[in-house]
Structure 1
């Protein structure tokens, strides 16, 4: 088994972390037990580019017990938990190519290493693996894949529209039991956790600017308000901006918000949501963090070009002193703050996302050769199965329709 990780001696610590995560991922563990018994993925070669966290470790173990051969690389240079990487290698025979603090060259070299296994199914978080396979014509043996996050789905949709997508992909991000919970409650909590670990600031009383009001932005804005922050939303979509207003948030453009914000968190999925021009407006002590997948939302190069000096004042907190003496603080190099400066989402919410992943992988394999090269939503029966598993694990019993109610919902004749 090939692998490249930081330190195999961290494996026991990682195994403990995996076991802790499993306690809080009951839906996935139920699926894991079923798949271990049935072995529906026996001999299937899977390559995954995901954040190497304890929750991902539980997913990898689940697929391994289902019979798959797995290779794993990180979907962000700073998101790997090195003890998890070690545990997956030592105890679960997963070929891992990942460590925290990879260079850009390391990052892509590790993705290349996955392809030595000639994968048949690929799993991605952000679209880099899918893009690499297509750009280099290496998709020949792949008969399907999945995508975990909004950014990757956008890229895959563009590939589909341009007619270059060569295999079917299930957009796990689009499952109700993913984006309504992972994006909103998961990122809403973990992004702020990353900010607090890096800075230990008090949110109460701060003017907090959230760029983007998709499901991630909604979650962050809600949690900041819950902690006593005065929250301003910056949004380009009139529909989302109106929604933010109706939710009671102040809405303005970044030009105006940049003059008054204390803490800025980007969640747009787009480039330079915070530009040099915005940074030039900011007050002394402003803190910049990114919760989007790629480190393009804050103009990091622009900020550093404006600074007369830079220093690390705390782990993952970089002070940039501008020419006039103002200090602007950049967290985690502008990368995903929840994973670079924290541990990512709580296990409980990843239970939903990764249950979708596991069942979608099985669906892809069982339907190999039958699906066109398109982006598909998670089948509704999988989405509902995951929700029901989660509710059952929480001891919640929901209502069941009677036969009369089922028949009534199908008719069209009866009115008032």
Structure 2
């Protein structure tokens, strides 16, 4: 692939051309020249777009596709295409399929389905067999097959000894253990944040305490084992405090937050719209403010779309019975840019890839072109027309968002939106 990007503003603090508007020449998938003005004697394809900005390719650390088993929700092929249109050159894909991804053969299947795709798929293996929380899965074998982490998606490990063993065992080969922050006996049958709003609506509450107890427990176990822990999708102010204190003690812990938990509060459930039924649940304004501050100061390492396609039969039903989850890839950039500056938005979409063993590739001559192309100006109302996923369960439908993703360049390929 040979092409010339014209008048592109580079947003990459690791690049010598950060904040400069330049031409970028790409030959055979490698950046061969960056300059104020580059001629085109070889008549390569030229890309010239309004307010074109370019950054390192974005990474999402928590994405769900249905395949294998739930292809009606999403396939790997269409899921990766959705990721590309949304600006992501790499996604870590969860194990909540049928069967659950818990063997090296399952990891190999996932990787083979994504082979030669423009988007890099990084499989997350289940932490326990069938994600049942009883016995550890084949962690070492899955690591050798290409698993970048181990996680029973949105299923807490109730047995603390199992968590201890997981951290101890995985530390032998540098494996990253993920633990969903929820104490099931406390959360019970709660379907939204336990608060005045849940009382008003007559819905069972899932208290912040359920998350914070589990976070505190896991951090104690982490300190004992000296392992390597990632806590996905925290949602409360107290969880932020606990993780901040653990980092000050130099524990090897990282965490993420879902974009919708930065954007919406539990007040949005007053319409009983099941697209707002997510896990962890939407919390209070105080929690949202604490989470946003923690993203800014780096206590929260990653922001994820927590993209989770759910078919209409499991969403357009009574609130109590509806499944948790929202798609989020397509709305990720627009939502983040509505909360943060452009600099911070790009930073959180590109930072800490190495936690999942993924290389960051600065925009420099001689490096592979792994780029996201976007326009940070303008606003629009997110609608079904913006959705590329098979499932349409978006929490952001009807919400004003900012900016526009043009597409990506990666793996010697280019994909641009229409």
With normalisation by structure 2, the TM-score equals 0.31
Work out which structure has the larger RCO, using CA pairs closer than 8 Å and 6 or more positions apart in sequence.
2
Q: Pick the structure with greater CA Rg.
A: 1
With normalisation by structure 1, the TM-score equals 0.31
Higher fraction of strand: 2
